[in-house]
C-alpha cells in the first residue's frame, strides 16, 4: 500500500508543478532540514490560525515564507536571520 501512496503523492505533486524527490535511506541527515522547516511552519502558521478563506491562508503562507527566508533567526546561522548573517559575511569580506 505504501508504494501506491507514493505514486499518488508524486502525481499530485506533479500536477502542482512540484518535483517530488525522496532522500536515500543511507543518508543520516536525510530530510531533517525540510522536517524542521515544516515543524516551524505548522507551529507558527497552521496550528495557531483558523483561516476564513483560501486567499487568507495563501497570504499567511507567502508572508511566513518571506519572513522565514529574510528575518527568522536560524540556529544553523548562529541564531541570526538570513539577512543579518549575509550582512555579517559581506562585512567580513570587505574588511
Only one residue has cell 540556529, namely: 75
The residues near 49 (Cβ < 8 Å, ≥ 6 apart) are 60
- Measured N-to-C along each axis, helices 32-41 and 54-70 cross at an angle, to the nearest 10 degrees, of 130
Query: Tens of pLDDT along the chain (95 residues)?
Result: 456 777 888 888 888 888 877 777 777 677 788 888 999 999 999 999 999 999 999 999 999 999 999 999 998 899 999 999 999 988 776 65
What pLDDT is stored for residue 95 in this prediction? 57
Please count the CA atoms within 13 angstroms of the CA of 37 that sit on its side-chain side. 10
The grid coordinates listed for 36 are 524542521
Amino acid at each position: 500500500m505504501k508504494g501506491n501512496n507514493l505514486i499518488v503523492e508524486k502525481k499530485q505533486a506533479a500536477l502542482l508543478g512540484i518535483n517530488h524527490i525522496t532522500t536515500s535511506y543511507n543518508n543520516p541527515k536525510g530530510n531533517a532540514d525540510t522536517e524542521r522547516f515544516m515543524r516551524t511552519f505548522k507551529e507558527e502558521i497552521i496550528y495557531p490560525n483558523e483561516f476564513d478563506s483560501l486567499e487568507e491562508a495563501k497570504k499567511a503562507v507567502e508572508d511566513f515564507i518571506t519572513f522565514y527566508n529574510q528575518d527568522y533567526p536560524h540556529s544553523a546561522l548562529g541564531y541570526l536571520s538570513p539577512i543579518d548573517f549575509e550582512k555579517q559575511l559581506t562585512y567580513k569580506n570587505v574588511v
